[in-house]
Structure formats: C-alpha cells, structure tokens
Amino acid sequence: MNGGAVEMDKRSRGRPKNDENNSPAAKALRQMAKDKAFFDRKSHTPLWVQFKNALADKIHCQVLLPDMRLPSEQTICEIFGVSRSVVRMALGSLATEGLLYKVARTGVFVAQPRMETDFLTSNMSVHADLEARGYTVTSKTFEFSRVKADDAEIRVFNLPKDGTVVRIGRIYYSDGAPITHTIISLPGYKVPDFEHLDIEDKSMFQLLKDRYGLVAKRAERWFTAAMPSVEVCERLALSSDQPVIAIESIAYDTNDMPLEFYRAYYNSAVARIHVATSNGDSASN
C-alpha cells in the first residue's frame, strides 16, 4: 500500500459508511420519484419551486421524518433527473424556512417540526377576530394588474423609477357590509405572470408560496386616523366626513426583503380592531 492510500485509509477509518442507496431517505425519495406528476416541465413555475414544494409536502406528511439524513445533492439529482442547481435551490429554500438543517461535513437533515404557522396574511390578521365571532368575511376584487410602481411602492421595494408591481385592489365585507378597502402590492420582478392567475377567494401568500416558493416570515404595521378619498368613501359606503383607520403593512420574506406592501382603510364603525400583547410581543386580529 502506498503512502497516499495509507493516509486515505487513516482518514476514513472509524467513520460510519453512508450507504445512500439503502438509506430510509433515499428509499422515500426513490418512491417519490416514481410519481412524475409533481414535475410539470411545461409549467411557468420553476422546477426548483415544484421540487421544493413536493419535498415540503413529504416532510409535513412525515414521509421524510425528523432528523432523517438526505442523500447527497448528486444522488438526489440522479434520483429525480434534475440539475444540481434545482436541487441546491430547493434544499436551500427549505433550510431557510426551517424544514431542513445542515451539519458541516456531515449532510442535510430533516428538521424537527416547529410550533408555528408557515405563512401569514395581512387580510387574515385584520379580519380573523370577526370570523372567530361568527361573522362571514367576503371580498370583491376591483383591480388586478401589473402597473408602473408609484412613489411609495418604489420606496418600499427599492425599485427603479420604471419598476413595476402587481397591484391587487379588494373590498372586504363583514356580513355584507363593506369594512376594508385594500391595495396589495407585490414587486413585479419577483412574481412573473402573477397577474394572469386566478386569485378569487385565494390567499395571496398561499399563491406566492405554491407558485414562486416565496414565504413571508414577519410583518410591520402602522395604524393612523385618516379621512378617505371620495373614491374610497363610495366603495365603503361612507359619508365624506367619516374618519377611518388607515393601515400600512410591509411583509418580509425569508431573506428579510420586502415581499408585500399592504395599504388599507378600515371602517371601525363596522367592527373594532383587537390588539393583544404578551411578553413584549404584539399581534393584531
């Protein structure tokens, strides 16, 4: 045995052999690969997002169990017939969301489940208290298009002057009475073709997660008293001298970059906004 071989034997001695082909995770992934339905190569949704969502589903369903070690990137590429960049982006996004964790020089493992929600919505936080008390909250979309960003959107998303946003305007109703006038803005470069999706009765954040692999992790909100414009008064069936609560909210993604800019007028004459605090943290309903 030459010196190099001796040195190689010393380095590897005592380490457990990683038989990737027979590991529980490899078997689960090979079974998963038999179902070709989760990869739609004609879809506008990137392959890495499709792969990431499929893996996340297997983690949530406990097909991939906590602390289970995944095969190497190369092995995963061979199992699913995709490029390393697809695998790397999917695993990186899942690690950012806390579904996977990496151990240096050891590998990638399935994380323990966390006691928290995967995404948040500004709309639900404002109206959840009404629904919890038995009221029916519905919505009607009055604007949905890709447009040139206004000054506020340029500032929030740090866009160039000719940057675009996808803007969604909705009126929310509580038992048929208009309660909230909202404008939701998404940075255009992050959501290609979003304006062509069916958004009726769908959560913006669920669409962002399923279509683009984007997840909101935190939000900041500001509340002020305001006198709404004539247009807003008409949509909310308000008199011109009736004040409302103006709400601004910025939701941030897992990289702490602005993902959603939410501007709303809330008619507190229909229902109050309830805010509860505990141990220095606050949450609005």
Domain ranges of the chain: 3-110, 122-284
Helical (H) or strand (E) element with 9: helix 3-12
Q: How far apart are CA 100 and CA 131, in angstroms?
A: 34
Lowest mean pLDDT among 24-38, 50-64, 177-191, 254-268: 24-38
**DSSP code per residue over 126-168:** HHHHHHHTT--EEEEEEEEEEEE--HHHHHHHT--TT-EEEEE
**CA nearest neighbour of 258 among 204, 216, 195:** 216
Give this prediction's pTM: 0.60
Q: Say which CATH topology domain 3-110 has.
A: Arc Repressor Mutant, subunit A (1.10.10)
Q: Does domain 122-284 have CATH number 3.40.1410.10?
A: yes
pLDDT beyond 80 at 279: no
Q: How far apart are CA 43 and CA 47, in angstroms?
A: 8
Q: What is the pLDDT of residues 134-149, one digit of tens each?
A: 678 888 999 999 999 9
Q: Which residue has the higher pLDDT, 217 or 10?
A: 217
Calculate what percentage of the chain has a pLDDT beyond 70: 79
